[in-house]
Amino acid sequence: MKRMIAPILACGILALLPGCSVFSQSGPALSGTIEAEEWPIVAEVGGLVKEVKVDEGSRVKAGQELAVIDERSYQLGVAEARAALDQATARLEEAKAGTRDASIQKGIASVQQASANVRMAEARQRQADAGISRAKEQLEQAKSQLEGAQQTLAYQQKRLAETTALFQQGAVSKKDLETQQEAVSQAQTQVNQLAAQAAAAQAGYVSAQQEVAAASAQTGTAQAQQAGAAADLDLLKEGSTDYTIRALLAAQQQAEAKLDQAMLQMEKTKITAPADGIVLRSSIEQGEVAKAGANLFAMMKADQLKLKVYIPEADLNLVHTGQQVGIQVDAYPDERFAGTIQFISDKAEFTPKNVQTPDERTKLVFAVTIRIADSQGKIKPGMPADVLLSESAKGEGQ
């Protein structure tokens, strides 16, 4: 009789311990980390950041201003485009009134100015080509360094798994185990630093590509303007005709389009939120210079969190797409949050390497993505969470 009492008491005590639940006995233990779907907010134009209006963790509304880039240079672009439109309009009106000798002299000056613009654009093109070569070399170097650091991390993680097994067997001391854990931590830190450098190099390369494209477009525009100025001069020398009027009318429409484009560029100096959500990270501060194409913020849509877990192959029949499940986090042990299985991988894989137990790493599992319906403002990205399939199974009559 005494032999029966001891196991019963042990089970009762375990049931009362914090973190214990019948879930671990009635189904597979599925755990993961809360993730957020990030939206990168990219600077479409470059310039000095005048003001950053939100902090990390701020809740924002769609269209809300997050930061402001100095718009003065873009205001000058608008003024220049508006002046070009006024000039095109004046030339059109002059042609309709009849060509004068002064117009021919003005046409000659326009041809000369257009030729100078071509030379300047070609010089910018050469400079941009040299810049993209440097950016590509820096990107390749950063990727190479990151790959080496990732290999070192994998090696140190493997050593940690081996040391952990030896420690459990009493073959190595706790100090040896802690030393190897520190080696893994240092290797992870190195990977994180080099990953950030690689991301910065990638942004630099993208910026260089955009500069090449912009220089090429500027060269093409300058050449077209040169050809147009030469054609206009020929028409002025021949006298205004219906073709002249039509050409000048097209030039006026082109100037209007450039003014619209310049105004659009100026509007892009105001960085706004694309949707309601939460600012996760801010990568820019007031006084810094933002490059076009650089990531300024990372945000997530409001209440759109997900949890990825891995279910063993033998338990795959316990889950299906659209299934309602319970989610528990350590910060709120007495609360359950609703979740819906959104996606189940079609392909089996081995348990991810971040599971340290060698036996667990050899199991075939399927990735399951769960959408959290309502976090109630309590669940945050990065929190560890458990999935309670047993609760949903009861609700479905299983």
CATH of 18-37+301-395, one of 2.40.30.170, 3.90.1170.40, 3.40.50.300, 3.40.50.720: 2.40.30.170
Q: Mean pLDDT across the stretch 230-249?
A: 73
| CATH, range 99-239 | 1.10.287.620
d(CA 300, CA 381): 10
The answer to whether the CB of 48 falls within 8 A of the CB of 287 is yes
Q: For 41-72, what is each residue's pLDDT tens digit? A: 999 999 999 999 999 888 899 899 999 999 99
Q: For 120-158, what is each residue's pLDDT tens digit? A: 888 888 888 888 888 888 888 888 998 998 999 899 899
**What is the pLDDT at residue 45?**
92
Question: Which letter does DSSP use for residue 352 in this model?
Answer: P
**What is the pLDDT at residue 93?**
83
| Phi, psi angle pair for 125, to nearest 5° | -60, -45
What is the domain partition of the chain in residue ranges?
Answer: 18-37+301-395, 47-70+271-296, 99-239
Q: Is residue 387 scored above 80 in pLDDT?
A: yes
Mutual angle of helices 72-97 and 242-267, in 10-degree steps: 170
**What is the pLDDT at residue 382?**
83
| CATH, range 47-70+271-296 | 2.40.50.100
Mark out the alpha helices in 27-71 (DSSP H runs): none
Q: 18-37+301-395 with 99-239: one CATH topology?
A: no
| CA-based nearest residue to 23, from 398, 395, 291, 392 | 392
| CA-based nearest residue to 312, from 271, 338, 351 | 351
**What is the pLDDT at residue 10?**
37
pTM of the model: 0.44
What's the chain's length in residues?
A: 398
